[in-house]
Amino acid sequence: MGEMKDADAIGEVGNPVCGDLMYIYIKVEEKNGAEIIKDISFQTFGCAAAIATSSMITELAKGKTLDDAMKISRSDVANSLDGLPPIKLHCSNLAADGLQYAIKKYRESKK
Protein backbone atom coordinates (compact mmCIF):
# COMPACT_ATOMS: atom_id res chain seq x y z
CA MET A 1 0.00 0.00 0.00
CA GLY A 2 1.21 3.48 -0.77
CA GLU A 3 2.59 5.60 -3.56
CA MET A 4 5.41 4.10 -5.62
CA LYS A 5 7.87 6.89 -6.36
CA ASP A 6 9.61 5.13 -9.26
CA ALA A 7 6.58 3.53 -10.91
CA ASP A 8 6.77 2.76 -14.61
CA ALA A 9 3.06 3.59 -14.96
CA ILE A 10 0.07 4.66 -12.88
CA GLY A 11 -3.55 3.75 -13.48
CA GLU A 12 -5.91 6.34 -12.03
CA VAL A 13 -9.60 5.53 -11.75
CA GLY A 14 -12.51 6.93 -9.81
CA ASN A 15 -16.22 6.73 -9.33
CA PRO A 16 -17.87 10.15 -9.08
CA VAL A 17 -21.06 8.63 -7.66
CA CYS A 18 -19.48 7.14 -4.53
CA GLY A 19 -16.34 9.28 -4.45
CA ASP A 20 -13.81 6.40 -4.53
CA LEU A 21 -10.44 7.21 -6.10
CA MET A 22 -7.69 4.66 -6.82
CA TYR A 23 -4.15 4.84 -8.08
CA ILE A 24 -2.53 1.56 -9.15
CA TYR A 25 1.26 1.78 -9.53
CA ILE A 26 3.27 -0.80 -11.47
CA LYS A 27 6.97 -1.49 -11.88
CA VAL A 28 7.73 -3.71 -14.87
CA GLU A 29 10.76 -5.90 -15.45
CA GLU A 30 11.68 -7.50 -18.75
CA LYS A 31 12.67 -11.11 -18.19
CA ASN A 32 13.33 -13.69 -20.91
CA GLY A 33 11.45 -11.59 -23.43
CA ALA A 34 8.38 -11.17 -21.20
CA GLU A 35 7.25 -8.09 -19.34
CA ILE A 36 6.58 -9.03 -15.71
CA ILE A 37 4.95 -6.95 -12.97
CA LYS A 38 7.91 -6.85 -10.60
CA ASP A 39 6.20 -4.59 -8.07
CA ILE A 40 2.73 -3.14 -7.64
CA SER A 41 1.14 -0.88 -5.07
CA PHE A 42 -1.94 1.24 -4.60
CA GLN A 43 -3.32 4.36 -3.02
CA THR A 44 -7.05 4.30 -2.47
CA PHE A 45 -9.32 6.96 -1.10
CA GLY A 46 -12.67 5.38 -0.41
CA CYS A 47 -14.59 2.77 1.51
CA ALA A 48 -13.26 -0.46 3.02
CA ALA A 49 -14.40 -2.45 -0.03
CA ALA A 50 -12.44 -0.16 -2.35
CA ILE A 51 -9.32 -0.58 -0.22
CA ALA A 52 -9.78 -4.37 -0.09
CA THR A 53 -10.20 -4.68 -3.85
CA SER A 54 -7.13 -2.49 -4.43
CA SER A 55 -5.10 -4.71 -2.16
CA MET A 56 -6.42 -7.87 -3.81
CA ILE A 57 -5.55 -6.67 -7.33
CA THR A 58 -1.95 -6.24 -6.18
CA GLU A 59 -1.92 -9.82 -4.85
CA LEU A 60 -3.41 -11.18 -8.07
CA ALA A 61 -1.11 -9.25 -10.43
CA LYS A 62 2.34 -9.30 -8.82
CA GLY A 63 4.70 -11.60 -10.69
CA LYS A 64 2.38 -12.03 -13.68
CA THR A 65 3.19 -11.07 -17.24
CA LEU A 66 1.42 -7.96 -18.49
CA ASP A 67 -0.66 -10.13 -20.82
CA ASP A 68 -1.81 -12.35 -17.94
CA ALA A 69 -2.44 -9.36 -15.67
CA MET A 70 -4.64 -7.78 -18.35
CA LYS A 71 -6.85 -10.87 -18.12
CA ILE A 72 -7.61 -10.35 -14.42
CA SER A 73 -11.30 -9.58 -14.44
CA ARG A 74 -13.60 -7.71 -12.14
CA SER A 75 -15.15 -11.01 -11.07
CA ASP A 76 -11.68 -12.46 -10.34
CA VAL A 77 -11.15 -9.65 -7.84
CA ALA A 78 -14.57 -10.06 -6.20
CA ASN A 79 -14.29 -13.87 -6.10
CA SER A 80 -10.84 -13.69 -4.51
CA LEU A 81 -12.44 -11.72 -1.68
CA ASP A 82 -15.14 -14.40 -1.33
CA GLY A 83 -17.63 -12.05 -2.93
CA LEU A 84 -18.76 -8.51 -2.32
CA PRO A 85 -22.19 -7.13 -1.50
CA PRO A 86 -23.97 -6.11 -4.73
CA ILE A 87 -23.77 -2.45 -3.76
CA LYS A 88 -19.96 -2.74 -3.54
CA LEU A 89 -19.27 -4.62 -6.80
CA HIS A 90 -18.27 -1.36 -8.47
CA CYS A 91 -15.16 -1.41 -6.26
CA SER A 92 -13.86 -4.53 -7.98
CA ASN A 93 -14.52 -2.79 -11.29
CA LEU A 94 -12.32 0.12 -10.22
CA ALA A 95 -9.45 -2.12 -9.13
CA ALA A 96 -9.41 -4.18 -12.34
CA ASP A 97 -9.82 -1.05 -14.46
CA GLY A 98 -6.99 0.70 -12.60
CA LEU A 99 -4.61 -2.16 -13.29
CA GLN A 100 -5.59 -2.28 -16.96
CA TYR A 101 -5.12 1.49 -17.32
CA ALA A 102 -1.66 1.26 -15.74
CA ILE A 103 -0.67 -1.51 -18.16
CA LYS A 104 -2.02 0.45 -21.14
CA LYS A 105 -0.09 3.55 -20.06
CA TYR A 106 3.08 1.49 -19.67
CA ARG A 107 2.69 0.00 -23.14
CA GLU A 108 1.97 3.41 -24.68
CA SER A 109 5.13 4.81 -23.08
CA LYS A 110 7.17 2.03 -24.72
CA LYS A 111 5.99 2.81 -28.27
Q: Which helix (DSSP H) or strand (DSSP E) does residue 14 occupy?
A: strand 9-14
Residue of 22, 40, 50, 91 with catalytic role: 91
- Is 47 considered catalytic here? no
Give residue 89's pLDDT. 73
pLDDT per residue as tens, the chain (111 positions)? 899 999 999 999 998 777 889 999 999 999 988 999 999 999 999 888 889 999 999 999 999 999 999 999 988 988 898 877 877 777 668 899 999 999 999 999 988
Phi, psi dihedrals of residue 109, rounded to the nearest 5°: -70, -20
d(CA 51, CA 91): 8
Chain centroid to Cα 48, Å, comes to 16
Predicted local confidence at residue 92, as pLDDT:
67
What structural domains and CATH numbers belong to the chain?
9-105 (3.90.1010.10)
Strand partners, 34: 31
Give the model's pLDDT for residue 83: 79
Compute the distance between CA of residue 81 and CA of residue 50 in angstroms, rounded to an integer: 12
**Choice among 12, 15, 18, 64 that is catalytic:** 18
